[in-house]
Chain A
Amino acid sequence: MVTFAIFFPLVGALIIATLPRDQERQAKYIAAVTAAIVLAAVAYLFVAYDRDQSGYQFVTSENWIDSGVSAFNLNYAVGIDGLSLPLLALNAFLTLVAVLISFKVELRPKEYFAWLLVLETALMGVFSSLDFVLFFLFWEVELIPMYFLISIWGSGNRVYSAWKYVLYTFFGSAFMIIGILTLGFTAGTFDIRELGQIGEIHGAIIPAWCIFALISIAFLIKLPVVPFHTWLPDAHTDAPTAVSVILAGVLLKMGGYGILRLSFNIMPDVAKDIDVYLAILAAVSIIYGAVMTLLQSDLKRLIAYSSVSHMGYVLLGASSIGVIGLTGAATQLVTHGLITGMLFVLVGMVYDRAHTRDIGELKGLATRMPFITAMMMIAGLASLGLPALAGFAAEVTVFLGTFDQHEIPTLVGVVGVAFAAGYILWTIQRVFWGPPDPKWAELTDATEWWERGPLIAMTAAVLAIGVYPAWVMDLLRDGVTPIATRLG
């Protein structure tokens, strides 16, 4: 079933690719159906997953590369646990959202939807690989769709942004593959399950902290952490709306997932030595991101910088190296994906109608767009961490888990929440409230089902996690518990 969830989007993409040119308009329906079927498959996994049992479930393991002379054996091994399942669900859900809100894409729709589905396959693979090299393969496959999606369908300085994205990621993965090979050579296996058991690295040809650094740089770039974040504002701003949703909603999560599943899980000793530095990096990211957010005048750039700040909480939670903090970090991955995804959808809708994202120009939109405004309020309040909405549960857990370990970075993180309240509320006030501007009298609200549907579904998810976080958090806690045990 996991294999089906990984490769079915690819099947959909191939079907779309073979559509004759005059049937191009059918691509979006095929994409939507494919994404819906994948979401159903992941929902099935969600229900069928046995929560009382620890370890990986739905495991498939097949021999992939088997080199006789070299004992260089790689497996196609996939499976899920409490940590990966919610991220798979997030990916399936946001891909469907991304397809739906792209229904009006007129420019080369065939390729557009095909690449979106290829991207989904790559991301599914990243979150469910149990072989480190397979993980790396999917990690790299994701580059090509993103490169095309940003550089062809993007706006503004899109070619530059696509390059920056690709080269940053590729740079990170260059180090990662060396780390993976060194690790595999030392441990004699590339299987993440077995690597997770070895605990301490002995007799490596380079010091263990070097391996840790080689592997983690790619994750820190992806997360992103200041000072590796400069690709993010450009890529998010210039990507088409749906791709920004996936980028912020799922791709950044690859970084957080990698840190937890690979860096921490495989090399707990190193993680324990450097947790303070990670906490400081996290605090710097939170505050730097928040301050930069306040300074932005472009709506999309603003949300992009807020992501830098919010992903800082993931690293902060991780740096606690305790089960509560890790659970918080993992939950933040999911909730930030939903909330920021929603914010990008809304900003995209505003931009499509007003053709500007400049906060100074937009004002009083509430009267013209009541639905969008209401959704924006919900997403904004969730983003700033209002109780009963999803962001609150994650951030509070992060602070609770981290305070004992790193008091000052945690306090700095709490200040970041105050900033978030500031930039979110101030932005909403400037853009949506105030006297209506006659310039925007022609604007219309979101009316189509493929606009409203995804937003309502996202709101429902944000509320569901906010009101009763346990249904996701319990899973995530089960997922991170073995990692925390190894760290503790």
Chain B
Amino acid sequence: MTDVLRFGPELALFIAAAVVITVDALIPIAGKSAYDARRPIAVFLALAGVGASFAMSAILIAADEKGTVASGMIEVDDFSLFFSFLFAGVAGMIVLGSVDYLARNRFHAEYLGLVLASAAAMMTMAAATDLIMIFVALETQAIAFYVLVGFLKDGRSSEAALKYLLLGATSTALTLYGMAYLFGLSGQTSLDGIAQYVSNAGDENRSALVLAAVFLTAGLGFKMAVVPFQMWVPDVYEGAPTPITAYLSVASKAAGFAVVMRIFLVALGHGLITSDWANLFAAIAAISMTVGNVLALNQKNIKRMLGYSSIAQAGTFLIGLAAVAAKDPQLELGTSSVVFFLGAYAFTNLGAFMAIIAISAKIKSEQIEDFAGIYRRSPFLALGLAACLISLTGIPPTAGFVAKLLVFNAAVEANLVWLALIGVLNSVISAYYYLRVVLVMFTRDPSEATTFQPSPYLGFAMMISVVGLLAIGVYPNPLVDAADHAARIFG
């Protein structure tokens, strides 16, 4: 019974996903208006599932109910609970952000079902402590996303889905290959078991372990969207339905990082090859930031621009991970800064995408040029998007500023001053393309004078994001605290 309780946050979402799809199929309304009548019910059920998942996580925290599930394949701890909240929250926001999209494109309830199921899978990814479970969760999440990316069924969306599927399958194979190496060496699938093997392993096994680390980095690098595993990002971001782009950029990335932290900090965290993968991460971080930012400079489509920006941001997260191992595997500062960054980034990027969904639905364009004068037409959306872009740049008083501060601090304390310098100089580059959008929105004249408001769902979702990112920017202590607790499990 405790097993079920501990798996509650995930279970709530899985059940909600099934209920949303079943109820939608069974509702006995026929005729032309049937679709419109069923949609609010599906949305309501989906949000109820998110609420139930939140409640379950809160109960687990309140009851201090931690421990293992499924014979030790899943661990409920501060780390997994942090991500339970994060993914449930993100899923809720995506549902809110999809309402208009559902109506316009006549998406059915399976869209919402897939959003919920993938959120549950990502929670499981963050909580899994066994290679088998990690792989199962990873695949569940990936399959849901393959479908969601192609949901528009037009040329670009289908191309994006195919690209995502092919490259995703390759990355899965690489991940599996890395896992096979670890299993072959240690004879264990549990991360703790592998950790035990690694800390006793001799030098003769070094090269095999490095190879495993490289394969895992390549496979999971696809999920984190870091260079050189980022090829899919611009096309998929541009082609997918915008709420799914937002979902990919925030949740899928965070889940990738959560798995990387579990595998590398637990299984490979103590011993032989720690400094090897730290160097690897540092190099990938530097390249991702630079490539992402430089390519973002000239983008004309805002979704593509945010795609490249997300590559650069992922590079910044990796600084924190490189810092963990470069100094000392016990040092939790780096982990804590990455976890904090993931939370801050969720608010920031979701807010930006909500604004873009609302604006581009109205102006029928995703070109940055066409955002001219949006401030005159919808001050609320323009200010909200500006706040998010300022946070992405890392200018106070926003969550992005504190997040970058913590990551760079971790790097400096781990003697990675060079990496921190590359990081801050990249912030300067990124200022150009983020603030350019702000400039276009605020200083140009709009092509039309009519004003407009976002739908209440989108408006509400954006309010949460913007208030959240400002609150975190002004008083970051609660999130810092949560991130610290999550990071402590690796201590």
B477/A70 in contact, CB under 8 A? no
A177/B424 in contact, CB under 8 A? yes
Within 8 Å by CB of A175, from B395, B424, B481, lies B424
For A, the interface residue count at a CB cutoff of 8 angstroms equals: 37
Cα distance A141–B474 in the bound complex, in angstroms: 12
Answer yes or no: B460 CB below 8 A from chain A CBs. no
CB of A309 to closest CB in B, whole Å? 28
Which of A96-104, A144-152, A355-363 touches B? A144-152
Which of A29-37, A60-68, A231-239 touches B? A60-68
Cα distance A182–B390 in the bound complex, in angstroms: 25
For residue A162, which residues in chain B have a CB less than 8 angstroms away from its CB?
A: 439
CB of B393 to closest CB in A, whole Å? 8
Which of B8-16, B146-154, B264-272, B405-413 touches A? B405-413
CB of B428 to closest CB in A, whole Å? 5
Answer yes or no: A137 CB below 8 A from chain B CBs. yes
For residue A64, which residues in chain B have a CB less than 8 angstroms away from its CB?
A: 475, 477
For residue B417, which residues in chain A have a CB less than 8 angstroms away from its CB?
A: 178, 182, 205-206
A178/B442 in contact, CB under 8 A? no
A66/B412 in contact, CB under 8 A? no
Chain B interface size range? 35 or more
Within 8 Å by CB of B477, from A66, A138, A147, A159, lies A66
Cα distance A171–B425 in the bound complex, in angstroms: 7
Within 8 Å by CB of A177, from B408, B435, B475, B476, lies B408
For residue B402, which residues in chain A have a CB less than 8 angstroms away from its CB?
A: 65
Answer yes or no: A133 CB below 8 A from chain B CBs. yes
A147/B336 in contact, CB under 8 A? no
A144/B395 in contact, CB under 8 A? yes
Q: Mark B143-177, 1 if CB is under 8 A from A, else 0.
A: 00000000000000000000000000000000000
Answer yes or no: B332 CB below 8 A from chain A CBs. yes
For residue B396, which residues in chain A have a CB less than 8 angstroms away from its CB?
A: 137-138, 140-141
B442/A181 in contact, CB under 8 A? no
B412/A178 in contact, CB under 8 A? yes
Cα distance A290–B417 in the bound complex, in angstroms: 39
A174/B428 in contact, CB under 8 A? yes
Answer yes or no: A170 CB below 8 A from chain B CBs. yes
Cα distance A240–B442 in the bound complex, in angstroms: 17
For residue B415, which residues in chain A have a CB less than 8 angstroms away from its CB?
A: 205
A67/B443 in contact, CB under 8 A? no
Q: Mark A209-231, 1 if CB is under 8 A from B, else 0.
A: 00000000000000000000000
Whether A170 touches B480, Cβ cut-off 8 Å, given contacts A144-B390, A148-B442, A181-B408, is no
Answer yes or no: B421 CB below 8 A from chain A CBs. yes
Answer yes or no: B461 CB below 8 A from chain A CBs. no
Cα distance A185–B477 in the bound complex, in angstroms: 20
For residue B491, which residues in chain A have a CB less than 8 angstroms away from its CB?
A: 69
Answer yes or no: A166 CB below 8 A from chain B CBs. yes
Chain B residue nearest in CB terms to A163: B432
Cα distance A174–B488 in the bound complex, in angstroms: 30
For residue A147, which residues in chain B have a CB less than 8 angstroms away from its CB?
A: 435, 439
B477/A140 in contact, CB under 8 A? no
Answer yes or no: A143 CB below 8 A from chain B CBs. yes
A166/B412 in contact, CB under 8 A? no
Answer yes or no: B354 CB below 8 A from chain A CBs. no
B427/A159 in contact, CB under 8 A? no
B480/A174 in contact, CB under 8 A? no
Chain B contact surface mostly:
helix
Whether A167 touches B420, Cβ cut-off 8 Å, given contacts A69-B332, A137-B397, A159-B439, is no
Cα distance A205–B416 in the bound complex, in angstroms: 9
Whether A67 touches B428, Cβ cut-off 8 Å, given contacts A133-B405, A140-B395, is no
Answer yes or no: B125 CB below 8 A from chain A CBs. no
A151/B443 in contact, CB under 8 A? yes
Whether A185 touches B412, Cβ cut-off 8 Å, given contacts A66-B480, A140-B395, is yes
Answer yes or no: B431 CB below 8 A from chain A CBs. yes
Answer yes or no: A72 CB below 8 A from chain B CBs. yes
CB of B397 to closest CB in A, whole Å? 6
For residue A205, which residues in chain B have a CB less than 8 angstroms away from its CB?
A: 412, 415, 417
Q: Max chain B CB contacts within 10 Å: which of A69, A141, A159, A167?
A: A69
Answer yes or no: B333 CB below 8 A from chain A CBs. yes
Answer yes or no: B194 CB below 8 A from chain A CBs. no
B336/A178 in contact, CB under 8 A? no
For residue A68, which residues in chain B have a CB less than 8 angstroms away from its CB?
A: 481, 484
Cβ < 8 Å to A, chain B residues 419-468 = 420-421, 424-425, 427-428, 431-432, 435, 439, 442-443
For residue A163, which residues in chain B have a CB less than 8 angstroms away from its CB?
A: 432
For residue A72, which residues in chain B have a CB less than 8 angstroms away from its CB?
A: 333, 406, 409
CB of B325 to closest CB in A, whole Å? 16
Answer yes or no: B401 CB below 8 A from chain A CBs. yes
A170/B428 in contact, CB under 8 A? yes
Chain A residue nearest in CB terms to B402: A65
Chain B residue nearest in CB terms to A139: B396
Cβ < 8 Å to B, chain A residues 291-307 = none
Cα distance A152–B444 in the bound complex, in angstroms: 9
For residue A69, which residues in chain B have a CB less than 8 angstroms away from its CB?
A: 332-333, 336, 484, 487-488, 491
Chain A residue nearest in CB terms to B431: A170
Cα distance A163–B428 in the bound complex, in angstroms: 11
For residue B336, which residues in chain A have a CB less than 8 angstroms away from its CB?
A: 67, 69-70
CB of A6 to closest CB in B, whole Å? 12
Whether A178 touches B408, Cβ cut-off 8 Å, given contacts A152-B442, A170-B427, is yes
Cα distance A151–B432 in the bound complex, in angstroms: 14
Cα distance A211–B413 in the bound complex, in angstroms: 14
CB of A314 to closest CB in B, whole Å? 26
Cα distance A184–B428 in the bound complex, in angstroms: 22
Q: Max chain B CB contacts within 10 Å: which of A144, A166, A174?
A: A174
7 interchain residue pairs of minimum CB distance: A174-B424, A70-B333, A181-B412, A69-B332, A137-B396, A69-B484, A68-B484
Q: A147-B439, A152-B443, A181-B405 are in contact. List 16 more A-B contacts (CB 8 A).
A: A65-B476, A65-B477, A69-B332, A69-B333, A69-B336, A70-B336, A70-B410, A70-B484, A148-B442, A152-B442, A162-B439, A167-B432, A175-B421, A184-B409, A205-B412, A205-B417
Residues of chain A whose beta carbon lies under 8 Å from any beta carbon of chain B: 63-70, 72, 133, 137-138, 140-141, 143-144, 147-148, 151-152, 159, 162-163, 166-167, 170-171, 174-175, 177-178, 181-182, 184-185, 205-206
Would you list 20 pairs from A and B whose C-beta atoms are within 8 A, ordered by A residue? Answer: A65-B402, A67-B336, A69-B336, A70-B336, A140-B401, A141-B396, A143-B395, A144-B390, A152-B442, A167-B431, A170-B431, A174-B428, A178-B412, A181-B412, A182-B417, A184-B409, A185-B409, A185-B412, A185-B413, A205-B417
